[in-house]
Amino acid sequence: MSRLSITLNRDDVAEAKKTAKTIVDDVFHFINKHTTDTIERTVLRYFGVDGVDAGEAPLPNVVVDHLKKKGVLDTGSAYWISNACVATGKDPQTIAEAVGTNAMDLTTVPSQPLEKVYRFAEETANKALDRVESMRNTRDGLLTGLGDNRKPYKYVIVATGNIYEDVSQARAASEQGADIIAVIRSTAQSLLDYVPYGPTTEGFGGTYATQENFRIMRQALDEIAVEQKRYIRLTNYASGLCMPEIAMMASWEGLDFLLNDSMYGILFRDINMKRTFVDQYFSRLIVALSGITINTGEDNYLTTSDAIEKAYAVTASQLINEAFAKKAGMKEAYMGLGHAFEINPDIENGFLYELAHALLSRELFPNATLKYMPPTKFMTGNVFKGYAMNTLFNLASVFTGQDIQLLGMLTEAIHTPYLQDRYLAILNANYVFNNARILGYELEVKKGCFIEKRANEVLSEALTLLKHTEKVGLMSAIREAHFADISRSEEGGKGLSGVHRKSEGYYNPVLNELEKRLGIEVES
């Protein structure tokens, strides 16, 4: 039995993939020469630096800020912390605490023999990454043991602001049939240049992503999984000023999914683009080694642009995201490329356009774990109409063979979901998926008619945008507002001051080891 399919113009597909790769390769000239504050903090975290100082500042921030003040961050935090460890015989956490109380200046510690420092650093990095791989094996074992859920996976969010309350909502949701629980972050956490510490119970429109919160939710979901004899996935969000740090925490705490987009932060949170490009690479290396599936954010483009007019920007961005992910050694099955059901419900045959767009994504990325987002922008206070829209969305998904179904909430236009909203959403999805389970295997799309033509039209428009982007470069294309109709400049946005050109002696054993383990060759 084969699933619903359409024929895409093969030359366009090949050309589009090739062009996306060229676009991304070009950005790597910049990426490879730079590091950032959060990358250096990530290295420290992998070295075991955690906790906060007396003023509640996370110690990785304290150490990185110290190195910045001394003007030596461009050699990398690993060198300085390792040098101090070798000199004193103490561990990185103890050193960081000493920096936190101003009891130690890392730059005045006598230089130890380089080979000793490197050996210490490499051993520490290796241990940290072994822990990542061991967590990955544990997760894989659990998934195989418990058995996977049927696709499309039912994905719901919890967002109470209080991690303990999130847990009870997550329990209820998974007992109702949810396959994936995402803990949405507190409003604007992405703009914080640090990751909050410890369990948290206060948030706006979401719950802070902290390592402890990850652990609490992971443990709860694993308990439920055992009770229910099926695996429950956990999702969080990496976009923002701390992409690699969040990825690092996810890698140690065993998250399954991470929202991780190469451009979302730039476009929707006004994070500086250089910062984002450098950060996304390091974070994706971590994610690749962890076996975490990324979710990309193309769906958001359709909230600021028209879903029919600018459908091609979604496709072009998916191709760019895919190319970036490949550069980080990710396998296709771990790419949750995003798209959405966001066409104005008043449009005649809107559903056919939706099917065309959904099939285009499916056909263009046959091995990806596609993430399909529900109607949001045209949801209104009329929750009844909204519920009907979500029904069509669910039908489109099961019919076209999508993988991750972000369940639409009937109260989308009003508030983050009530418990009952989530319940009704799961009810809807269960009903539709069950009723139309093999519909896509029974029906065919007419050759050369509306749906197939429309998909090819979007593909060809996407190719035109990619060609243009290849010519001007990705950074300029973003400035020209080709993605999401939002313009960002190379020097604008938040976080540029945290981007540093690597010095001659730059040293990052975590980066080196990640690239080595993932089999990535870096041209210098």
Partner 1 sequence: MNEANGKVFIDPKQLTSYGDATNDGAVQLSFTLPIPHGALAKEAAKKFVQNLGFDKSEIVTMEDMKEGYTFFVVYGHTQKTIDISKIKVMEVNFRVMSREETDAFIQEKIGRPLVVVGATVESDAHTVGLDAILNMKGYHGDYGLERYKMFTVHNMGSQVLCEEVVRKVKETKADALLISQIVTQKNIHIQNLTKLMDLLEIEGVRKDLLAIIGGPRISYELALELGYDVGFGSGTVPSQVASYIATTLSERTEMA
- Kindly report the backbone phi and psi dihedral angles of residue 295, in degrees, each rounded to the nearest multiple of 5, phi listed first: -120, 130
* Pairwise CA distance, residues 354 & 342, whole Å: 8
Residues 6 or more apart in contact with residue 290 via CB below 8 angstroms: 132, 135, 136, 247, 250, 251, 255
Q: Which of the 8 DSSP states describes residue 151?
A: S
* Pairwise CA distance, residues 456 & 364, whole Å: 11
* Pairwise CA distance, residues 126 & 95, whole Å: 20
Q: Report if residue 161 touches partner 1, rule: CB under 8 A.
A: yes
Residues 6 or more apart in contact with residue 220 via CB below 8 angstroms: 167, 170, 171
490 residue type, one letter? E
Q: Report if residue 413 touches ligand B12, rule: CB under 6 A.
A: yes
Q: Which residue's CB is nearer to ligand B12, number 170 or number 184?
A: 184
Q: Which of 66, 171, 284, 371 binds partner 1 (CB under 8 A)?
A: 171
Q: Report if residue 156 touches ligand B12, rule: CB under 6 A.
A: no
Q: Which residue's CB is nearer to partner 1, number 388 or number 439?
A: 388
Residues 6 or more apart in contact with residue 402 via CB below 8 angstroms: 151, 152, 358, 361, 362, 370, 372, 396
Q: Report if residue 176 touches partner 1, rule: CB under 8 A.
A: yes
Q: Least distance to partner 1 from the beta carbon of 230, Å? A: 15
Q: Which residue's CB is nearer to ligand B12, number 93 or number 416?
A: 416
Q: Report if residue 204 touches partner 1, rule: CB under 8 A.
A: yes
The contact pattern for ligand B12, residues 317-356, with x = CB under 6 A and - = no contact, is ----------------------------------------
Q: How many residues bind partner 1 (CB under 8 A)?
A: 26
DSSP string, 368-415: S--EEEPP-TT--S-HHHHHHHHHHHHHHHHHHT-SEEE---TTTTTS
Q: Which of 95, 379, 389, 462 binds ligand B12 (CB under 6 A)?
A: 379
* Pairwise CA distance, residues 39 & 242, whole Å: 8
Segment near partner 1 (CB under 8 A), from 12-20, 111-119, 334-342, 375-383?
Answer: 375-383
DSSP string, 208-230: ---HHHHHHHHHHHHHHHHHHTS
For the CA atoms of 11, 13, 16, 22, what is the dihedral angle to 10 degrees?
-90
Q: Which residue's CB is nearer to partner 1, number 164 or number 418?
A: 418
Extract the tokens encoding 29. 């000239």
Q: Which does 418 bind (CB under 5 to 8 A by kind): partner 1, ligand B12, none?
A: partner 1
Q: Which does 376 bind (CB under 5 to 8 A by kind): partner 1, ligand B12, none?
A: ligand B12
Q: Which does 185 bind (CB under 5 to 8 A by kind): ligand B12, partner 1, none?
A: ligand B12
Q: Which of 48, 205, 350, 473 binds partner 1 (CB under 8 A)?
A: 205
Q: How many residues bind ligand B12 (CB under 6 A)?
A: 18
Residues that are catalytic: 264, 299, 371
Q: Least distance to ligand B12 from the beta carbon of 295, Å? A: 13
Q: Which of 412, 428, 478, 506 binds ligand B12 (CB under 6 A)?
A: 412
Q: Which of 32, 137, 144, 187 binds ligand B12 (CB under 6 A)?
A: 187
Please work out, in degrees rounded to the nearest 5, the angle formed at the alpha carbon of residue 305 by the alpha carbons of 321 and 404: 45
Q: Which of 85, 173, 184, 465 binds ligand B12 (CB under 6 A)?
A: 184
Residues 15-74 that bind ligand B12 (CB under 6 A): none
- Kindly report the backbone phi and psi dihedral angles of residue 216, in degrees, each rounded to the nearest multiple of 5, phi listed first: -60, -45
Q: Least distance to partner 1 from the beta carbon of 217, Å? A: 15
Helix residue ranges, H only, 291-347:
301-304, 311-327
Q: Report if residue 345 touches partner 1, rule: CB under 8 A.
A: no
Q: Which of 47, 155, 257, 268 binds ligand B12 (CB under 6 A)?
A: 268
Segment near partner 1 (CB under 8 A), from 34-42, 47-55, 234-242, 411-419?
Answer: 411-419
* Pairwise CA distance, residues 496 & 279, whole Å: 11
Q: Which residue's CB is nearer to ligand B12, number 391 or number 460?
A: 391
Residues 264-283 that bind partner 1 (CB under 8 A): 268-270
Q: Which residue's CB is nearer to ligand B12, number 82 or number 283?
A: 283
Segment near ligand B12 (CB under 6 A), from 12-20, 183-191, 277-285, 439-447?
Answer: 183-191
Under a CB-based contact definition with an 8 Å cutoff, are residues 378 and 371 in contact? no
Q: Which does 381 bind (CB under 5 to 8 A by kind): ligand B12, partner 1, none?
A: partner 1
Q: Give how far Cα 132 sits from Cα of 125, 183, 195, 217, 292, Å.
A: 11, 21, 19, 18, 11
From the list 16, 26, 117, the residue with the least C-alpha distance to 476 is 26
Q: How far is CA 500 from the centre of its chain?
A: 23
Q: Report if residue 164 touches partner 1, rule: CB under 8 A.
A: no
- Kindly report the backbone phi and psi dihedral angles of residue 180, in degrees, each rounded to the nearest multiple of 5, phi listed first: -135, 130
Q: Which of 98, 352, 392, 413 binds partner 1 (CB under 8 A)?
A: 413
Phi-psi region of 179 (alpha: psi -120 to 50; beta: other; left: phi over 0): alpha
Q: Report if residue 512 touches partner 1, rule: CB under 8 A.
A: no
List of residues contacting partner 1 (CB under 8 A): 161, 168, 171-172, 175-176, 187-188, 191, 204-205, 268-270, 303-304, 377, 380-381, 413, 415-416, 418-420, 423
List of residues contacting ligand B12 (CB under 6 A): 184-185, 187-188, 205-206, 268, 300, 303-304, 376-377, 379, 412-416
